[in-house]
Amino acid sequence: MSFSVSQFKQQFPLFSQPENRDLVYLDNAATTQKPAVVIDAIRDFYLHSNANTHRSSHRLARQATAMVERVRAQAAAFLGTGNVREVIFTRGATEGLNLLANSLCAELAPGDEVVLSTAEHHANLVPWQMAAARHQLHIRYVPDERGIPQFDRLVEVLGPRTRIVSLTAGSNALGFRADLAQIRQMLAGRDLRWVVDAAQLAAHEPIDVQEIGCDFLVCSAHKFYGPSGIGLLFGREQWLQQMPPWQGGGEMIADVDLHSSHYADLPHKFEAGTSSLAAIAGLGACLEFLQSQDRAAMAVHEQQLLRTLHEQVGKLPGMELLSSAENNLGILAFSDSRFVPVDLMHWLDGKDIAVRVGHHCAQPLIRATGHSATLRASLAAYNSEQDVARFVAAVAEFLDQLDSAENAPTHVEPEVAEGWPIDDLSVLDIEALRSRRGWQERYRLLMQWSKAIAAKPIIRSPEHLVQGCESSAWLVHRQLGEKHYFALDSDSRVVKGLGAFLLSQLNGKSLEEVRSTDLEALFTEFEFDKHLSPSRSNGFYALMQRAMAILEQQK
Ligand code: PMP
């Protein structure tokens, strides 16, 4: 077998919808798109065989039950266990980890230890923290260097009280992988349970729990082209038998009376309530789909793209990457002191390139790298060289806009009074904005205008924070005689640029003059509503509304 990106991508109907023809989707670590076979299977389930499983035995119920157990057998093969009793359906990796934290920790004694790493997704941190508080357990962390776990030093934190080691197979924030074979060696012969968070790994290569040698493993179908709302928990039968169930309810019992219950056999003991049946049907189709692909060739393709992405973005002026192409599950990550990542994200969004910014649910790791947010581009097999080229070109253009803003004169001649300066915005010429042809040119000018807004740490307090701005913005007001003045601060260049535009229309005017200024008309005239992402537009309106509310209070 071999791999053709275009043939692979054709199987994902989202990309052929008219509104998505230009889409470059690089947010695959968050969730992947779905092939037609998965969408059809979900629809077909509701269309032909929707019924609840196990509880009743009419024709449709038998059909649905058989489907669920068939998919369980497929999932057992997908995970590399031949034993269906070792496969629990969950809502996703998060639920699998919560189940483990609850059931495994219930048996532990105060002072027992759980080992985690600084690179864990919050789903593999918070449930253990909660269980540790409940059972007086200690959490220890694999030694790290600036947040990056040194998995080869895992033994340093293993001790006689270590009962659980729960580690990621690959970081969802920076992409680096853990060496599972090495971890297996270090854990060999110890009386503890090893949990692998394979939420990212499962999207990029086949999983084999026998080869990995772990006791438990979790993943979410939506990360590997399957539906959301369904995930898998693998657990060794021997341990699952001993563990108390996590949730109680229907399906997980054999017999119930008023004072006690007997639980069902594995795997149903851990599946309380009605499962996500349609999602299980979709998962079945997804597993068949994956089986029919040349996964090794898919991985080669993804790795090639990842190298290109790192090489080309790494070459852009002043760019320092937080991720490396080596040993990486398909993620490029960076942060840059010249701009807040959310500005670049919106710029890319304006070109229909989807990426993610933030801490990626791995706050301790991102903080340890010295940042509060990063921009992450994450790959799947339907991404192409053209996707990478468009992303790189768009980032380069954004940096170019920044550069021209750097060279723009700083117009600030602050008049310092009462603690914060009134920026001099009189030099911002609306006619210059009017004469700029095209959005790109206007955006460039807005970035230059952002320089007219001086930093004002003094106004960054909760009472001045404007809700509704995706990037924080603070707005203050002062009246001098009849005239009103506002000042603003934000980390975002775009918010500052838009704010400069807004304040240039308000500052130095009386209430009557402000009232006769049609800000919304200007906003439409300059096509901000067309080119800015909705959250940016909402941010602008939030600033405008706050300014107007402040003015109305002055009467
Ligand atoms: N662990 C990792 C490494 C992940 O990337 C994610 C999802 N981003 C999760 C756990 C949680 O998965 P889910 O939200 O599907 O439960």
Question: Would you state the pLDDT for residue 418?
Answer: 61
Question: Would you state the pLDDT for residue 444?
Answer: 84
When pLDDT is cut at 50, 70 and 90, the band that residue 415 belongs to is low
Maximal CA-CA distance, the chain? 82
Q: What is the model's pTM?
A: 0.88
Residue 314 has pLDDT above 60, yes or no: yes
**Averaged pLDDT, 452-480:** 87
Note if 361 is an active site residue. Answer: yes
Distance 45 CA to ligand 1 centre (A): 26
Q: What percent of the chain has pLDDT over 90?
A: 65
Distance 321 CA to ligand 1 centre (A): 23
Mutation pick for ligand 1 pocket among 97, 98, 361 (CB with most ligand atoms within 8 Å): 361
**Averaged pLDDT, 432-461:** 86
- Report pLDDT digits (tens) over 58-102: 999 999 999 999 999 999 999 999 999 999 999 999 999 999 999
Strand partners, 486: 477
Tokens, residue 272: 């309380």
Peptide bond connecting 421 to the previous residue in cis, omega within 30 degrees of 0: no
Question: Would you state the pLDDT for residue 255?
Answer: 86
When pLDDT is cut at 50, 70 and 90, the band that residue 28 belongs to is very high
Residue 533 has pLDDT above 70, yes or no: yes
**Averaged pLDDT, 491-496:** 87
What separation in angstroms does the CA of 82 have from each of 95, 101, 218?
Answer: 23, 25, 17
513: Cβ contacts below 8 Å, ≥ 6 apart: none
Mutation pick for ligand 1 pocket among 90, 94, 219 (CB with most ligand atoms within 8 Å): 94
Residue 536 has pLDDT above 90, yes or no: no
Q: What percent of the chain has pLDDT over 70?
A: 96
- Report pLDDT digits (tens) over 150-198: 999 999 999 999 999 999 999 999 999 999 999 999 999 999 999 999 9
Mutation pick for ligand 1 pocket among 121, 174, 207 (CB with most ligand atoms within 8 Å): 121
H/E element, 163: strand 162-168
When pLDDT is cut at 50, 70 and 90, the band that residue 469 belongs to is low
- Report pLDDT digits (tens) over 255-287: 888 998 888 899 999 999 999 999 999 999 999
Angle between the 341-350 and 493-506 helix axes, to the nearest 10 degrees?
80
- Report pLDDT digits (tens) over 416-445: 556 788 888 887 888 888 888 888 888 888
- Residue 360 · residue 334 · CB < 8 Å: no
94 lines ligand 1 (CB under 6 A): yes
| End-to-end CA separation in angstroms for the chain | 75
4: Cβ contacts below 8 Å, ≥ 6 apart: none
DSSP string computed for 421-474: EEP--TT--HHHHHH--HHHHHHHHHHHHGGGS---GGG-SGGGBPTT-SS-EE
- Report pLDDT digits (tens) over 140-149: 999 999 999 9
**Averaged pLDDT, 349-366:** 91
Catalytic residue among 105, 219, 361, 469: 361
Strand partners, 540: none
199 lines ligand 1 (CB under 6 A): yes
Question: Would you state the pLDDT for residue 56?
Answer: 64
Exposure string over 216-253, b if 16+ CB within 10 A, otherwise e: bbbbbbbbbbbbbbbbbbbbbeeebeebebbeeeebbb
Mean pLDDT of the chain: 92
Question: Would you state the pLDDT for residue 323?
Answer: 97
**Which of 84-98, 381-395, 418-432, 471-485 bottoms out in mean pLDDT, i.e. has the lowest?**
418-432
471 lines ligand 1 (CB under 6 A): no
What separation in angstroms does the CA of 4 have from each of 9, 25, 330?
Answer: 9, 18, 18
**Which of 110-114, 117-121, 292-296, 533-537 bottoms out in mean pLDDT, i.e. has the lowest?**
533-537
Question: Would you state the pLDDT for residue 306?
Answer: 98
When pLDDT is cut at 50, 70 and 90, the band that residue 31 belongs to is very high
Residue predicted with more confidence, 551 or 219: 219
Question: Would you state the pLDDT for residue 299?
Answer: 97
Spatial distance between the Cα atoms of 215 and 194, rounded to a whole number of angstroms: 5
Distance 291 CA to ligand 1 centre (A): 23
DSSP string computed for 471-511: S-EEEEEEEETTEEEEEEEES-HHHHHHHHHHHHHHTTB-H
Residue 117 has pLDDT above 60, yes or no: yes
166 lines ligand 1 (CB under 6 A): no
Structural domains for the chain? 5-26+293-405 (3.90.1150.10), 36-291 (3.40.640.10), 411-553 (3.90.1010.10)
Residue predicted with more confidence, 36 or 410: 36
Question: Would you state the pLDDT for residue 443?
Answer: 85
**Ligand 1 atom 12, closest CA:** 93
Length of the chain: 555
Spatial distance between the Cα atoms of 236 and 293, rounded to a whole number of angstroms: 28
**Averaged pLDDT, 26-41:** 98
**Averaged pLDDT, 376-395:** 98
Residue predicted with more confidence, 364 or 416: 364
